[in-house]
């Protein structure tokens, strides 16, 4: 195991911080209703909508407008679970952990939260399996321009994504609760 000059390890600090962010997100999802999940607080929101066939998919046109529109809780849960955690996992930590892929997502909060939990558990287990030395290994060619960055940087990026979008979910829940 690699330790710094003072005999300390980085892995427990990074993963402990990530766990704390996760616990705050997960706590804010308790009691999420379908109406809240799909609530569009502004015109033109991106959300999850009926897609081709029997499935549902999120709004994500290409190219993405700048700035992108406000998104719903449904969209943000897709982003954290699928576009972030599941994608990160599939690029070196394990297989794709979800039943849905790409723009596919769930029309109700129960299945979405279940998918988020699955994506989190798989990502977190994969990060823990890296060990202290693995945190300093390069991400690899699947990461394109980030290929030479270490896995420790990926943990920090994941924490940023989770903190950012988790806070947005919390704010949307607060605003939903006081809407007129």
Strand pairing report for 56-58 and 48-50: antiparallel
Mean pLDDT of the 56-64 span? 95
The pLDDT score that the predictor gives to residue 2 is 54
One DSSP character per residue, 122-147 reads HHHHHHHHHHHHHTTSB--GGGGGGT
DSSP category for residue 99: S
Q: Which residues of 78-174 form beta strands (DSSP E)?
A: 104-105
Question: Do 59 and 75 form a contact (C-beta atoms < 8 A)?
Answer: yes
pLDDT over threshold 80, residue 8:
no
Tell me the H-state helices in the chain. 11-28, 34-38, 73-78, 87-90, 109-134, 151-178
pLDDT over threshold 70, residue 60:
yes
pLDDT over threshold 80, residue 19:
yes
| Cis-peptide into 12, omega within 30 deg | no
Lowest mean pLDDT among 2-6, 35-39, 105-109, 125-129: 2-6
pLDDT tens digit string along 112-167? 999 999 999 999 999 999 999 999 999 999 999 999 999 999 999 999 999 999 99
- CA–chain centroid gap for 122, Å, is 12
Rounded to 5°, the CA angle 174-162-92 comes to 155
């Amino acid at each position: 195991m690699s330790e710094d000059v003072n005999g300390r390890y980085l892995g427990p600090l990074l993963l402990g911080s990530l766990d704390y962010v996760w616990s705050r997100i997960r706590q804010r999802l308790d009691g999420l209703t379908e109406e809240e999940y799909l609530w569009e607080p502004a015109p033109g929101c991106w959300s999850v909508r009926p897609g081709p066939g029997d499935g549902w998919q999120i709004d994500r046109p290409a190219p993405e407008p700048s700035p992108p529109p406000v998104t719903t809780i449904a969209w943000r849960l897709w982003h954290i679970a699928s576009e972030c955690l599941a994608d990160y996992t599939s690029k070196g930590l394990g297989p794709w952990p979800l039943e849905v892929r790409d723009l596919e997502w769930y029309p109700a909060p129960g299945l979405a939260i279940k998918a988020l939990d699955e994506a989190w558990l798989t990502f977190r287990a994969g990060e823990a399996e890296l060990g202290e030395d693995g945190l300093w290994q390069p991400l690899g060619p699947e990461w394109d321009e980030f290929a030479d960055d270490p896995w420790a940087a990926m943990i920090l990026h994941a924490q940023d994504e989770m903190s950012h979008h988790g806070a947005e979910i919390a704010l949307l829940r607060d605003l939903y609760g006081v809407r007129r």
